[in-house]
Structure 1
């Protein structure tokens, strides 16, 4: 019933007294701005209707911590290396003890001893499906490191996004764990060091992290990256379709972009969460051959609980979905 009422309200908002076409995009921008107030922080949104090229950006003059959504550009560079035959998806990688890192995922919870061997494809899927941080750091190395990720973004005309750190260093900076450059840090060492920090030290690190420009993006940059992935402008058709298929099977964030969409809606997406930041970025397929909509939603500096931030993202996704369905 709630979904029906929400859809009816949006239908009335977007169709009564609002002309169709480029000029009416202002109504969507106003609605997204209003919905951003539900986030308890600052919500930046990038929306692109792929087939028509119509686009809207809200709070695009700010940078947002990507959190785990930065795994999208990492995946792009990784698959570019596969495309260039520098590596293969079937290539096996041995997971070492120092590869097991804190945060989201499965590897660090299931394995405490070395000897696990997984393929690049396995690790890519762990990174994108369940946001495994250990798999991500292995894939970042396999992709050639952050410099090569940033290079492929720049080469393809994407500005306003940068990938700078491994997930273990990103999390370390967030909580105030000092990881010396070049030092391998085991999961146990990380947890022990974190446990020795005072609450004030952690809060101070959180404040510094929230102002850090590393591993950040504008809504526009992420939206354009997703648009280029869908249009096969960065990767060849095989690699593009593989990435979209994997993102379409994402296991996290059911209450974010997908939260208020019709249950059968196909959404290829990637979530991200850290501290006061909650994100979801992806591509939504519209019904009745109305095309596809990119939505990149970032919430930062929110004092609300995660479910409330997720609700703001879900409302934004539904607003974009219904606008391009009816216009």
Structure 2
């Protein structure tokens, strides 16, 4: 009887696994078809944090990070605060002069290229490190980003990514360092590595439980909602960080379902001929993954 019971359990488990794999294969095919409708190169990394189910497309390819690199910078800020290098409540005078990583020559940010132009009215005034981190994340302030990178050093953010298992994220520099850009010295990410760091944030193992919770609270206030959250129901919460430059539309984060389940999704793109179509397709992919979890 015990042997028969064991066989039944084994067969049931195998059938469930095959069914899940089949569903995952069908979903991946549908998502690939959606991505193929867009002229450009795209990547997907998805992980269900309850079942461990994953879905990957071009997940190890290097993409221009755009502003998704601001999540590693935020993590480094919280890490250094935890070690006592400064307090998040400490203040910094806002400046708009930075040094190129190529030769140390000075450069300034163009207000017209920054989504958070209100920050420029505060140059010469003080802001707390926490408020700079908040502005860097929720409205993607380039000015706040460069000030914080000067504070924590991009190399340290990169090293911290390695301790989290994100071996291919490259945080090299701040924003709008044109000399570095011309030499191809850019911040890059993979969908897989971004998935890893958001998974660890969701598990509240980044820096500390309290720090992970604080970072998630910031990410939940994200103001740019055109990709992952765009087609999801209003009661679904998304803690995420976007990134966009010409031909690039990225989004990465944790999705919290009303029933308590959560998953991580990263959507990256490059060489988009029509960015509007690219955003629409990526938002559709986000909805397809959400729908697949409703059965």
TM-score by length of 1: 0.76
Shift of 1:96: 2.0
Shift of 1:114: 4.3
Shift of 1:286: 2.0
Q: Which one of the candidate residues 152, 155, 161 is aligned to 1:147? A: 155
Q: Name the count of aligned residue pairs.
A: 268
Shift of 1:311: 0.6
Shift of 1:285: 1.3
Shift of 1:288: 2.9
Shift of 1:215: 1.2
Matched, 1:309 2:269: no
CA distance in 1, matches of 2:235, 2:63: 30
Shift of 1:322: 1.5
What pairs up with 1:192-203 in 2 under 5 angstroms?
Answer: none
**CA-to-partner distance for each residue in 1:257-290, whole Å, 9 max, x for gaps?**
111111221011111011111111111112333x
CA distance in 2, matches of 1:83, 1:110: 29
What pairs up with 1:218-237 in 2 under 5 angstroms?
Answer: 218-237=190-209
Q: Which runs of 4+ in 1 moved over 3 A?
A: 107-110, 171-174
Shift of 1:104: 2.1
Q: Is the 8 A contact 2:95 2:147 kept in 1?
A: no
Q: Is the 8 A contact 1:108 1:134 kept in 2?
A: no
Tell me, which stretches of 5 or more residues in structure 2 are unaligned? 1-16, 99-107
Q: Is the 8 A contact 1:255 1:310 kept in 2?
A: yes
SS at match of 1:325: coil
Matched, 1:294 2:294: no
Q: Is the 8 A contact 1:105 1:126 kept in 2?
A: no
Alignment root-mean-square deviation, CA: 2.1
CA distance in 2, matches of 1:213, 1:161: 13
CA distance in 1, matches of 2:211, 2:259: 27
TM-score by length of 2: 0.84
Q: Which one of the candidate residues 96, 100, 116 is aligned to 1:106? A: 116
Q: Is the 8 A contact 2:149 2:173 kept in 1?
A: no
Query: Quick one: structure 1 residues 73 and 288, their matched pair in 2 at CA, closer, same or farther if it must change by over 3 Å?
Result: same
CA distance in 2, matches of 1:38, 1:130: 30
